[in-house]
């Protein structure tokens, strides 16, 4: 994977899956049941390291481990209270729609157990496998911090960005600051690659996308690369569509992740030549399996045959995905050798 991120094209391509450590694995479900809440699992470094390594033990064809954690650890460290409501998802209080960011009391020690997880994974990981750290991108994290929870269209956060850009800029600046320190801590603990997840990038108009997605990502990527030039930086702006070209050119990232809605043939034609790409199998194709999965895998591999490529999903693996379908996908990718 590191070779591909250094712009080398390989056959077969390296492969990992977003959310590969998680609910589709029976061994994860058992450990989660034993540990209780999601946050208890994340903050138990021994258990979180075990979860991070579980998919590589089951699927030795995977070329990377990705830290088991959550993008909302950053607002938790900034000072919001974080909980996960069964069947409803995360909650952050107080929501910044009605509380000033400076009113929050920071708890940077809340990041320390995550660094310990990275250290434990690094010590146990096969040296031939890459270790990926990650964080949520400022825009996406801000959508949760402002609304206090996830939303369908991020309208509350988008309205705040239009109506009070100075306040919203202060929120983004604070997220940037903590995110940079958070990624640095993961790198110091052993991460060789970092990925910035901008899961809600697609909800923004073009000018707002430039301001709240591209600009913060560029600042974080530049700072990481200045301090750690050996570390590779992957940006994943889900839903960016036609704005992917600008994101790739202006952020200074080493590789770009593509969601499942992006035509790989179009992406290969429109993205900068030689830029490594990651993706972009539809998680529902993986869930379905069979001939449809084989055809989808082949289309992606054929489209990116002429550029550095990391095979991955277009978003996180779905919890109902059969193990046999993951095995089928890995066999389809690796037979390209």
Phi, psi values for residue 272, rounded to 5°: -55, 135
Return the biggest CA–CA distance within the chain.
56
The answer to whether 48 touches 118, Cβ cutoff 8 Å, is no
Q: Among this protein's residues, is 19 annotated catalytic? A: yes
Among residues 70, 91, 110, 228, the one annotated as catalytic is 70
Among 23, 91, 119, 299, which one carries the catalytic annotation? 23
Is the distance from CB of 188 to CB of 115 less than 8 angstroms? yes
Q: Which of 32, 158, 174, 307 is catalytic?
A: 32
Whether 32 is catalytic: yes
Which of the residues 28, 43, 115, 144 is marked catalytic? 144
In contact, 264 and 299? CB cutoff 8 Å: yes
Tokens of 209: 């996308």
**Beta pairing, strands 130-136 & 89-93:** unpaired
Q: Rounded to an integer, what distance in angstroms lies between the CA atom of residue 34 and that of residue 297?
A: 36
Under DSSP, the state recorded for 293 is: H
d(CA 288, CA 286): 5
Q: Tokens 């952020």 — which residue?
A: 251
Adjacent-strand bridge partners of 175: none
Q: Is 144 one of the catalytic residues?
A: yes
Q: How far apart are CA 195 and CA 234, in angstroms?
A: 5
| Distance, CA of 135 to CA of 139 (rounded, Å) | 12
CA-to-CA distance for 116 and 111, rounded, in angstroms?
Answer: 9
Q: How many CB atoms lie within 10 A of CB 55?
A: 26
Query: What residues act catalytically?
Result: 19, 23, 32, 70, 144
């Amino acid at each position: 994977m590191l070779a591909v991120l250094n712009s080398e094209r390989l056959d077969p391509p390296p492969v990992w899956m977003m959310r590969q450590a998680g609910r589709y694995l029976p061994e994860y479900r058992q450990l989660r049941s034993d540990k209780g809440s999601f946050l208890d699992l994340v903050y138990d470094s021994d258990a979180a390291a075990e979860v991070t390594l579980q998919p590589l033990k089951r699927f030795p064809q995977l070329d990377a481990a990705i830290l088991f954690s959550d993008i909302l650890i950053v607002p938790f460290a900034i000072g919001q209270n974080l909980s996960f409501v069964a069947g409803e998802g995360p909650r952050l209080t107080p929501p910044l729609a009605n509380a000033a960011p400076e009113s929050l009391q920071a708890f940077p020690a809340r990041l320390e157990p995550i660094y310990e997880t990275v250290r434990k994974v690094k010590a146990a990981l096969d040296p031939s496998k890459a270790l990926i750290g990650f964080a949520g991108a400022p825009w996406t994290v801000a959508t949760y911090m402002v609304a206090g929870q996830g939303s369908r269209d991020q309208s509350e956060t988008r309205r705040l960005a239009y109506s009070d850009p100075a306040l919203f800029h202060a929120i983004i600046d604070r997220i940037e600051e903590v995110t940079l320190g958070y990624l640095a801590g993961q790198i110091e603990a052993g991460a060789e690659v970092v990925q910035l997840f901008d899961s809600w990038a697609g909800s923004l108009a073009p000018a707002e996308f430039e301001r709240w997605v591209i600009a913060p990502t560029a600042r974080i990527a530049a700072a990481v690369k200045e301090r750690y030039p050996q570390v590779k930086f992957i940006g994943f702006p889900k839903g960016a569509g036609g704005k992917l070209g600008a994101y790739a050119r202006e952020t200074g990232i080493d590789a770009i992740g593509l969601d499942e809605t992006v035509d790989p043939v179009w992406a290969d034609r429109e993205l900068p030549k030689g830029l490594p790409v990651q993706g972009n199998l539809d998680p529902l194709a993986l869930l379905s399996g069979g001939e449809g999965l084989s055809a989808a895998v082949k289309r992606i591999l054929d489209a990116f045959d002429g550029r550095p490529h990391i095979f991955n999903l277009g978003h996180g693996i779905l919890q109902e995905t059969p193990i046999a379908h993951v095995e089928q996908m890995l066999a389809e990718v690796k037979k390209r050798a």
